[in-house]
Amino acid sequence: MVTSSKTKTGKHLSQNCYLTGGILNGYCLDMKNFTIKTGLAIISIVLLLSPLASCGRSVKQWNSPPEMVIDTSKTYTAVFDTSFGTFRVELWADKAPQTVNSFVFLANENFFDGLTFHRIIQNFMIQGGNPQPYNYEVGTIQGPGYTFDDELSNVGSYDPGVIAMANSGPNTNGSQFFICTGNAAYTLEPKYTQFGKVLSVDDMAIVNKIAAVDVELVIIGTSYEFSKPVKPPVINHVTIEVR
């Protein structure tokens, strides 16, 4: 069960930032000094929490998940103001209340302000919500400082526009999320909590613009993927509308 004790503001953390190369799941790649031979690249469709790098950003952390404050009978919409434009996501408070509650809490705390979509695979998904992306070292703090359980009883197919939680295993949800953008997402197993969907065709057009940015090669274990944005799209702010 997800802890429902009162959330307490924890410490603010910062770490040195490494601006060269890319990283995912604890492995690094220096793009300036790396040469890949033809035929060695393997695309990995695994959604993992990315390790930490603050680039001098103060990272707000909490000791436990927030208290349940949303009303599941109401409709919640997340309005993403990004460097590529604004798009809206309907949040499924009735299907994934703990997840939506956490997302709403973090948005209202301005947690997502200035973060990027740090992992992008055009025919798969765009991933964001990591407060400290792209470091050669794995940090000690991930996401918001707390984790909460999966909500998988209502998981359907990972259609384009569906927003779901990225994780590093069962019941390790934090702040990282992904929005499905293509057919590769249909191959995902139903182990990522879905908590909403992009509202309209116009909103999805902005998501698709983000998904189409130029990306570089990164390494994940023994596999490689082109997923590190050359110029990461920025989340300026997420506003929560309630009706």
**Alpha helices (H) in 136-237, listed in sequence order:** 201-211
Within-domain flag for 2: no
Within-domain flag for 42: yes
Q: Give me the domain span that covers residue 18.
A: 9-65+74-242
Within-domain flag for 140: yes
How many domains is the chain built from?
1
Distance between CA atoms of residues 89 and 195, nearest Å: 10
- 207: helix, strand or coil: helix
pLDDT value, residue 48: 55
Within-domain flag for 4: no
pLDDT value, residue 218: 85
pLDDT value, residue 49: 56
pLDDT value, residue 11: 35
Distance between CA atoms of residues 179 and 163, nearest Å: 4
pLDDT tens series, the chain, 243 aa: 222 223 333 333 332 222 223 333 333 333 333 333 333 333 444 555 554 444 456 778 999 999 999 999 999 999 999 999 999 999 999 999 999 999 999 999 999 999 999 999 999 999 999 987 544 234 333 699 999 999 999 999 999 999 999 998 999 999 999 999 999 999 999 999 999 999 999 999 999 999 999 999 988 777 788 999 999 999 999 999 999
Within-domain flag for 3: no
Within-domain flag for 198: yes
The structure tokens listed for 85 are: 């434009």
pLDDT value, residue 133: 53
Over the range 200-224, which residues count as b (16 or more CB within 10 Å of their CB) and which as e?
eeebbebbbebbebebebbbbeebb
Within-domain flag for 216: yes
Within-domain flag for 170: yes
pLDDT value, residue 132: 74
What's 29's domain CATH number? 2.40.100.10
> Which positions ≥6 away from 137 have C-beta within 8 Å?
15, 18, 51, 53
pLDDT value, residue 18: 25
